[in-house]
Amino acid sequence: MAARRVLPGFGLSLGLTVLYLGLVVLVPLSTLALTAAGLSWDQLWAAAAPRALAAYRLSLGCAFGAALLNAGAGLLVAWVLVRYPFPGRRLVDALVDLPFALPTAVAGITLAALYSENGWVGARLAALGLKVAYTPLGIVVALTFVGLPFVVRTVQPVLEELDPEAEDAACSLGATRSQTFFKVLLPELRPALLTGFTLAFARGLGEYGSVIFIAGNMPLKTEIAPLLIMIKLEQYDVAGATAVALVFLLASFSLLFGLHLLQGRGARAAAPRRLPREDAA
- Report pLDDT for 147: 94
- Report pLDDT for 267: 62
- Report pLDDT for 2: 56
Cα 270 to the center of its chain, rounded Å:
22
Does the residue 27 lie in any domain? no
**How many distinct structural domains can be found in the chain?**
1
- Report pLDDT for 17: 87
Does the residue 246 lie in any domain? yes
- Report pLDDT for 280: 42
Contact 170, 184 (CB under 8 A): yes
- Report pLDDT for 29: 81
163: amino acid identity, one letter? D
| Positions of the chain with pLDDT under 70 | 1-8, 263, 266-281
Contact 98, 212 (CB under 8 A): no
- Report pLDDT for 87: 92
Does the residue 252 lie in any domain? yes
Does the residue 197 lie in any domain? yes
- Report pLDDT for 275: 40
Contact 211, 108 (CB under 8 A): yes
- Report pLDDT for 274: 43
* Rg value, the chain, Cα: 23
- Report pLDDT for 3: 60
Query: pTM of the full predicted structure?
Result: 0.84
CB neighbours (10 Å) of residue 197?
25
Does the residue 275 lie in any domain? no
Is the four-CA dihedral 169, 173, 177, 178 of positive or negative sign?
negative
Contact 204, 146 (CB under 8 A): yes
Contact 150, 199 (CB under 8 A): yes
Vertex 164: Cα angle to 163 and 170 (nearest 5)? 110
Does the residue 51 lie in any domain? yes
**How many Å apart are CA 50 and CA 99, to the nearest integer?**
33
Contact 211, 135 (CB under 8 A): no
* CATH number reported for the structural domain that contains residue 253 in this entry: 1.10.3720.10
- Report pLDDT for 262: 73
**Long-range contact set of residues 91-100: C-beta below 8 Å, sequence gap at least 24:** 96/148, 96/149, 96/152, 96/153, 97/149, 97/153, 98/149, 99/145, 99/146, 99/147, 99/148, 99/149, 100/149
Helix axes 50-83, 186-206, angle to 10 degrees: 140
- Report pLDDT for 278: 42
What contacts 255, CB < 8 A, 6 or more positions away? 60, 201
- Report pLDDT for 281: 41
**How many Å apart are CA 206 and CA 21, to the nearest integer?**
19
Does the residue 207 lie in any domain? yes
- Report pLDDT for 28: 83
**How many Å apart are CA 198 and CA 256, to the nearest integer?**
7
Domain of residue 241: give its range. Answer: 42-270
